[in-house]
Structure 1
Amino acid sequence: MDTIAISPPKVNTRHWFAFALCMISYLFGGTVSTIMSVYLPVAIPELLKDHASEARLGEIGAYISAIFIYGWMSGGLLFGIIGDKIGRKRTLTLVTGLYGIATLLIVFVKDWQILMLYRFLSGMGVGGVLLVSTVYISEIWEEKSRAIVLGVLAVSFPLGIVASGGLNVLFPVWRQAFWLGLIPTGIALLILFFLPESTKWLQSKNENTDEKPPFIFDARNLPNLLSGSLIFGAVLIGLWGIFSWLPTWVQSLLEAGQDGRKERGFTMMLLGIGGILGGILSGFLINKWGSRKTLMGTFIGCFIACGLLFITNQHFSKIIYFETAFLSLFFGISQGSLSSYIPALFPIAIRATASGFCFNVGRFFTATAVFFVGTLVSFFGGFGNALLTFSITFVIAFIAAYFSKNTK
């Protein structure tokens, strides 16, 4: 049983090396997630080998994007179970190598159906990396700075997304860009041969050799599983619902005839920058106030920022840039805080499985909820009002966090 808090040894060079490898794997997970979107307009016509209509290109592009998300969800759920069975280090080796090799194989792909298979496998690997690296670092790191390093780890993913844009400049031939799969493949070997296994996981396995391991849906863990899934799922719906359609909302505020490319692009940059800063800040806030209070304050901030952004702006002005950055800062804090909070809800023996469930079950509902934006626009009479409705999810997350377990 995980009734006594076991503090890892003081952070040393091996721990920092482990963190560096996890951060690189996490970062390239962000790059691999978005690199196909950058090259879709040139890759798909080549793979079709004939002239295709815009509708056909959009259809195949949607398939390829969707299959990656399904792989991400599947990997997050599957490799959580595997991580609790065979250990954090071996599972992290497996998932990093999986998305590295699958990305590398795209260099040689001949048709779009095989490309879908490789993207599904890449998604599984990325989903596994985001989960297992978070759980692994949370177990090997000392308590006083754990939340800070987890917040920094969380911002590696958006940094990787930014890097995918740079690859488009460096590699005009799309197949060349996918040689980057060599890097995570090499990182997987370094993880296998040089990283220590989680001592907490090893101790948990030794303690549970003669007894049945805990079950994530038993009476002890079910309340935390439900609250963790509800909090993370609600935040995910709000985040993706707003982020996905925010550029369209910005365009709707401009005068007719304006292309809005600069306004939309700068808005998205601010979303990324604010998210990165918020993720870094989250660890310091957790150390000061604890995870639960930090989350509740963050959700209030998200709700207020949404009201400020979508109620007070009927026409585009530069104040939107500041309000967008304000909102994305709270978004970033929420993601960094949840990376620390969710794993701590569960005993070590089922931590990866339960965290994988909480992190990924909400993605199914998120994908569905975002599709309803178009309907909400018609019902509420505009993108601003439609996106404002998504801020209700932060109220739900606040209530769930209020009644959830305090892990501090």
Structure 2
Amino acid sequence: MSTGQAGSGSAVTLEYTPGERRRILGAACLGWGMEYFDFMLPSLLAGPIMAEYGITPATFSLAIVVQLIGSAVGGVLFGWLGDRFGRRRTLIWSILIYSIATGLVFFAPNFTVFVVLRFLTGVGTGGEWAVGFAWLNEAWSPKRRGLGGGLVQSSLWPAYALAILAAQLVPDWRTAFLLGVLPALACVWVRIATPESKQWTELQRRKAAGELTPEVAAQVRRSGWAQLLSRDSLPIVAVGVVAAFGAQWVPYTATTWMPSLLREDLGYESGSASLVLYLASAVSFVAFILAGYLSDRLGRRSVFLTFSGLQAVTFAVMLGIAVTGSGMGNLAWLYLVSSFFLGYFGIFGVWFGELFPTRLRSLGSAAAYNIGRGLSGLGTLIGGIIATTEGYGIAVGIAVFGAVLVFGAAYFLRDRAGRVITAED
């Protein structure tokens, strides 16, 4: 393990080899991508699931809401575990929980059991996001950290494409969920091939040796929860929750109900609808990487505000079309445009991670992102009610509310792009 001085005293930068960075990036991509595969399956298979259980879209949306609540619980829980027991070990635990819970859906005899299993899935996926991005923040080059975050977020594209393919090719919806157990196999590779965060490991060494600075030592003696609620951290968490709530409202309304809009309201055949969804996913893939890359050069906040602001305009137009019923055919290509402006999700993980010190990075970013994510389930629930009474077009269009909210909240988050992350900072 090599070190390089970034000042004096405790300001030691712990370097990673290119191979170690690639493997940590791969672990984060694998965990996050397969989480999205799991999340999108219910939306893609909503029709046959609702038919088998005899439920309405509004009732079906409860499963998604409960999963998001689970992600809030799991995010905070695993975020705390990640700061206490390390990034690698905690990531393995979270992947095991969500992959096994997904596979068990194959046996769900009724909708109640289905909902319980989706809650457990949410617990696992909530932890995966927080720990994976904390790990990436610490391992990746400070000058290219945004690009690394964009690459992790872009893993959603192949995962979404795989989910669409599974929904089309498997003989029944239960078999598609059974495929969700496969990420558990990745835990073996993560355990063997990837190194623990060197900043976290060094923090533990200094703590045990009594080598922490007095200020940091005083903080470490407090519980993670007390640090989270301190006057230094709580305002960041509060604004982050609002930003994450708005951002997650967008896909949990638009992405959840767009497949049904294409097939039911716009009359797309299955193949044509899948093509639109494939293209939207591919557009987002490019946008995640581009936004992350640009944020390294232009700053996190400016790029984030540009993408989210343009997305708000796009969804405002879509909502207007859905309300008036005029030009409904334009909703498909406008959805592709809105998918490009989802690029700001490529910035979220690294931006939140840069706002917290190593001792609180996993829990702090987890609390901000996943509490907001859990609350955003209201969008899915409201969208389900609207889809039942007013049609899928308006259910998709109300994504504008989230886009406006995330734009406003992001303005108040500090931009620390390119900061050097040490064991104590």
TM-score, normalised on structure 1? 0.81
C-alpha root-mean-square deviation of aligned residues, in Å? 3.8
2:284 corresponds to 1:278: no
Matches within 5 A, 1:6-405: 7-35=13-41, 54-55=54-55, 64-106=63-105, 114-172=113-171, 176-181=175-180, 183-208=182-207, 210-213=217-220, 215-245=227-257, 259-261=267-269, 267-311=276-320, 315-316=326-327, 320-331=331-342, 333-372=343-382, 390-405=399-414
Distance 1:266 1:129 in 2: 29
Distance 2:83 2:134 in 1: 10
Moved more, 312-321 or 230-239: 312-321
Distance 1:168 1:225 in 2: 37
- Decide whether aligned partners of structure 1 residues 286 and 261 sit closer, same or farther in structure 2, where only a CA change above 3 A counts: same
| Matching residue's letter, 1:54 | G
| Matching residue's letter, 1:237 | W
| Matching residue's letter, 1:259 | G
Q: 1:395 offset after TM fit, Å?
A: 3.8
Report 1 or 2 for greater relative contact order, CA contacts < 8 Å, sequence distance ≥ 6.
2
- Decide whether aligned partners of structure 1 residues 32 and 307 sit closer, same or farther in structure 2, where only a CA change above 3 A counts: closer
Distance 1:329 1:86 in 2: 37
Q: 1:37 offset after TM fit, Å?
A: 5.4
Q: 1:81 offset after TM fit, Å?
A: 0.9
Distance 2:386 2:42 in 1: 30
| Matching residue's letter, 1:167 | A
| Matching residue's letter, 1:236 | Q
- Decide whether aligned partners of structure 1 residues 110 and 261 sit closer, same or farther in structure 2, where only a CA change above 3 A counts: closer
Q: 1:85 offset after TM fit, Å?
A: 0.8
Gaps of 5+ in 1: 46-51
Gaps of 5+ in 2: 1-8, 209-216, 418-425
Query: 3-state SS of the aligned residue for 1:144?
Result: helix
Q: 1:265 offset after TM fit, Å?
A: 5.0
Q: 1:113 offset after TM fit, Å?
A: 5.2
Q: 1:136 offset after TM fit, Å?
A: 1.0
Distance 1:181 1:388 in 2: 30
| 1:33-68 deviation digits (Å, cap 9, x = unpaired) | 2335556766798xxxxxx7734x879855654443
Q: Using the aligned pairs only, state the percent identity.
A: 21
Query: 3-state SS of the aligned residue for 1:188?
Result: helix
Indicate conservation of the 8 Å contact 2:62/2:381, yes or no: no
Distance 1:367 1:240 in 2: 7
TM-score, normalised on structure 2? 0.78
| Matching residue's letter, 1:287 | D
Distance 1:376 1:169 in 2: 27
Count of residue pairs brought into register by the alignment: 393
- Decide whether aligned partners of structure 1 residues 281 and 206 sit closer, same or farther in structure 2, where only a CA change above 3 A counts: same
Query: 3-state SS of the aligned residue for 2:232?
Result: coil
Q: 1:299 offset after TM fit, Å?
A: 2.2
Distance 1:383 1:39 in 2: 16
Indicate conservation of the 8 Å contact 1:72/1:127, yes or no: yes
Q: 1:387 offset after TM fit, Å?
A: 6.4
Distance 1:309 1:95 in 2: 37
- Decide whether aligned partners of structure 1 residues 368 and 35 sit closer, same or farther in structure 2, where only a CA change above 3 A counts: closer
| Matching residue's letter, 1:398 | F
Q: 1:196 offset after TM fit, Å?
A: 0.7
Indicate conservation of the 8 Å contact 1:8/1:142, yes or no: no
